[in-house]
Structure 1
Amino acid sequence: MVDLDDTTKNIIAFLEAADDGDLKTISKLIADGVDVNAVDVMDNRSALHLACEHGHKEVVFKLLEAGAKVNWVNSFGNTALHWAVSAGCEETCDALLKTGSSVDVKNKFTNQTPLHWAAADGHLGIVEMLIEHGTDINATHVAGYTALHEASQRGHYQVVKTLLYHKASTLVKGEDGKTARDLAKAVGAFKVVALLEFLPDRLREAARTDDTKSLINIIVSSGVEVDDYHADTGDTAMHLAAGAGNHEVVNILLEHGATPNVFNKALYTPLHLACRVAAVEAAKNLINGSATMSADLEAEDGEGNTAIIICAALDCSDLLALLVEKRVSLNQANKRGETALLLAASHGNVPMVQKLIRDRANIEAKDEYGNTPLSMAAKNGHHSVITTLLQSGSHVEPRDKLNNTPLHSAAKHGHRQAVMNLLHGGASCSTKGEDGLTPLGHAAKNGHHQIEKALAAWQERIDRQQNMRKPDE
């Protein structure tokens, strides 16, 4: 049997008294000079830890008065505040915080802060106290969960409501990829699920319907996460506002920290949606952005379309001009190989074609079928675009993957003026393409008899001119 000295005996008695809440013994031993920061050698817990763990608030007050270290950690990295939170004793927590206890200290193995413990146990008053003292409301532990995750998966409705009010993020995903909403659904905490979905749903509806008054009220008064997205579509409030052309809402959301570059489940950003509906003002606000963030002008949708490609495809000249001014890439192609110029030519938009050419878009870019801008203009009969492209130096006879030239395409599709413009631009009407047919052959095959006659007359004139140049035999 080991004989213990008086100092050791006093420490053991001191720790036991703290564990039992024996204020009288604690007071006597402190008066006798015991070390108030002595620890249990087994787990490094101090008397303050023990008193906090069991909610012995009078003992806690006495220990703090005697100079106990509030931020001492045990072998598991827990502080007295962790244990006070676990006991659910608000007065003890308050005393520790006022004495300098670290509000965001993480324990050793799970990286949990006192807020994680308070939220998990549903201690609303302590949650509010920790928030008041500046705790990081979105701190994550080893599993990637925030306090909102912990409260949600245990169905603590009021705690969830308080965390949301103080701007706890609903978007954080744990290491398992789950949000707080996912965890609440998994355990059947449907009241919490409704709370997590209600405010974001109201926010998105206000954004969609251009209800700026309700939007501001929801953001300011509820602490809702402005980037919260719909579970099925992935749409944020910004997606809905941009897609509806609600430019004032876009501005308000940007001012309140909304991210303009989130992709929804259809792989569109808000800017893609604004461009798709030619919402010029909404797109301008996204492009100009906030003080800290603006739309990514080169972001690609699921088909590889950037904003400028969408504008060209949908004939939105105003937005395209704005994007050109912002020096976006003019030669970026989508998954079909289509560039903005190729699409503008395909739609017959002469001013757009002229602008893109002036800003040095590649005039010979080819899509997946080998079509150049001239090929597409010819195929669709846009004779003015053909003239513009030829005057800008476009090669008059590029071959597509079927071996056709633009003249073949124009003749095949019955575009007489396009045919004439190409002929005047130097296209040959005797060149063989698909199936070994000349442009005249394509016109004849498809029943375009006026074009057939025009090509025959043109070829006859060419032949006559060539014969006139031959020296007399």
Structure 2
Amino acid sequence: MADGESLLRSEQDFHDAAKGNNVIRMELLLKNGVNVNAKNSIDQTALHWAVGAGHEEAVKFLLDHNASVDDQDSFGMNALLLAAWFGHLRILRTLVNVGAKLSCENKNGLNLLHCAARRGHIKILEFIMEDLEDIWLDKPDNMQRTALHLAASYGNLEVVEFLIGSGCVHGLKDKEQNTPLHLSARSGHVEVLQKIVETAVDLDEKNWEGETALHLAAEEGHSNCVKVLLNGTCDVNAQTNKNMTALHYAACHGWVKVAELLIEADINVDAVNHQGKTSLEIAARGNHISLVDMIIKADRFYKWEKDHPNIDSESFVGMHVTFRQDRRPETQHIRSVIWRLATKYLKPNEWKKLAHFWKFTEAHIKAIEQQWAGAKSYKEHGHRMLLNWLPGVIISGENPIKELYEGLVGIGRRDLAESIRRKANADCSSPRKCAVM
């Protein structure tokens, strides 16, 4: 609340006394003729201030001196709505007992139930549902949002549980066609989301832009919410009105953890949006390097897996398939070999020849090249390409040094291939270095 400039000095003093619960001062000002219902420039009275501050003594004093209980301020808030908004149950009971209008709404269409749900005041809700009559549990506000929409949007788990237990409808839509599921996912309230998922709502319900809860959680980077929805068997490949998948959204913002979850759920990494762009192209344009590399690794792996249908995916040399950057001790030596190869020995464009030899697509190569740091960017490009190549070799059970040798011979660099093989043979005196060879 804010004071206005339309009050007389005595009226301003009266408002200040109500704010401070100074009943003696209020009584003196009333004896001197101050108007108990004087309003400031946004139509707030002393009762508004006393209720908002939770001053029971001041509220009772004002009511005893004929304060108008139903007066609304310029936002449509009256004393009853303020009591619900700020969670002052005893004051709310007092206002109800003196005959305050129960069907009131503010200018946004929020009623008592909406205010309490929005702010998470469970005791207020219990009182409303148990002691007041003719309460419409699913009444919408001006945005067509019910109390459940508001509680879900603001993460008020206890309120959500109470409303669901009271029999509210779980899947109603607001003006933007969002359900409470959409709003909890977008806001990242994972416990609320889990509770709503457990009510068996349609996880693939779409809003007016064709977005599911998964799209909204992915766009905002809420990986825990993405996990809940995926565990609930939502459609990972659902597309919006603009053909955006959840991975497109993750790629736009560089949400690596979200992308990892989606990729592990076997999302179609080749899906294109209405502009014909894949998630890889979007991630590359946004310079989200880690995400670009993750998508390339996943794309290459799933294509390899498709070409080898008779291989049990759970037996890939006993390792968990991951598309994150490899930092394992057992691959440290081969990663060192790769780094030296890319930064010291490969000439410009030779990394591309190797990429083509190993069946990287033009889209993969273009995405890697999107990162530009000057004339020697090819060294970084080559290093990233080799790091994206390595996991596929290891997962398929091949010898990385042997594959490197064949690749280099294939692009006409037998000299370099022989040099790497000789160095590898010399290093094999160390069992740790030979672990992946």
1:326 aligns with 2:166: yes
Residues 377, 385 of structure 1: 8 Å contact kept: yes
The answer (yes or no) to whether the contact 1:309–1:339 under 8 Å persists in 2 is: yes
Distance verdict in 2 for CA 1:356–1:470, change over 3 Å = closer
Counterparts of 1:97-116 in structure 2 under 5 Å? none
Per-residue CA deviations over 1:43-80 (Å, capped at 9, x if unaligned) read xxxxxxxxxxxxxxxxxxxxxxxxxxxxxxxxxxxxxx
Aligned-partner SS, 2:275: helix
Change in 2 beyond 3 A, CA 1:467/1:232 = closer
1:251 corresponds in structure 2 to 93
Match of 1:344 in 2: 184
Deviations 1:292-345 (CA, angstroms, capped at 9, x unpaired): x26432222222221111111112212112111111111111111111111111
Task: With the length of structure 2 as denominator, give the TM-score of the two structures.
Answer: 0.58
Task: Give the Cα separation in 2 of the matches to 1:362 and 1:258.
Answer: 40
1:45-124 pair list within 5 angstroms: none
Q: Percent identity?
A: 22
Superposition map of 1:47-446 within 5 A: 201-219=45-63, 221-222=64-65, 226=69, 228-230=70-72, 232-290=74-132, 293=133, 295-446=135-286
Structure showing greater Rg: 1
What's the secondary structure of 1:215's corresponding residue?
helix
Aligned mates of 1:358, 1:469 — CA distance in 2: 36
Q: 1:439 and 1:341 mapped to 2: Cα distance?
A: 25
CA shift digits 1:396-431 (9 cap, x unpaired): 111111111111111222111111111121211111
Q: 1:91-121: CA deviations, max 9, x gaps?
A: xxxxxxxxxxxxxxxxxxxxxxxxxxxxxxx
Closer, same or farther: CA 374–266 of 1 in aligned 2, 3 Å = closer
- Cα pair 2:210 2:239 within 8 Å, conserved: yes
Residue 470 of structure 1: how far off its partner (Å): 9.0
Q: Which moved more, 1:353-362 or 1:267-276?
A: 267-276
Q: Residues 234 and 263 of structure 1 are in contact (CA less than 8 Å); yes or no, is this contact kept in structure 2?
A: yes
Q: How many residues align?
A: 275
Structure 1 letter corresponding to 2:211: N
Q: CA deviation at 1:207?
A: 2.0
- For 2:141, the aligned partner's letter is D
Distance 1:470 1:258, change over 3 A: same
* Amino acid across the alignment from 1:366: K
Q: Which has the higher contact order (CA 8 A, sep 6+)?
A: 2
| Aligned-partner SS, 1:434 | coil
Contact 2:36 2:66 in 1 (8 A): no
In structure 2, what is the Cα distance between the partners aligned to 1:360 and 1:257?
A: 41
Name stretches of at least 5 consecutive residues in structure 2 with no aligned partner.
1-32, 312-437
Contact in 1 for aligned 2:52/2:82 (Cα 8 Å) = yes
Cα contact 1:274–1:282 (8 A) shared by 2? yes
**Structure 1: gaps of 5 or more residues:** 1-191
SS at match of 1:395: coil
Map Cα deviations across residues 435-467 of structure 1 (whole Å, 9 max, x no partner). Answer: 111111111121111111111111111121222
Kindly provide the amino acid, as one letter, of the partner of residue 298 in structure 2: W
Aligned Cα root-mean-square deviation (Å): 2.7
Instruction: Decide whether aligned partners of structure 1 residues 294 and 376 sit closer, same or farther in structure 2, where only a CA change above 3 A counts.
Output: same
Inter-partner Cα distance in structure 2 for 1:364 and 1:194: 57
8 Å contact 2:145–2:174 — kept in the other structure? yes
Q: Deviations over 1:244-275 (max 9, x none)?
A: 22121112222333333311233222332233
The 1:404–1:271 alpha-carbon spacing in structure 2 relative to 1, beyond 3 Å, is same
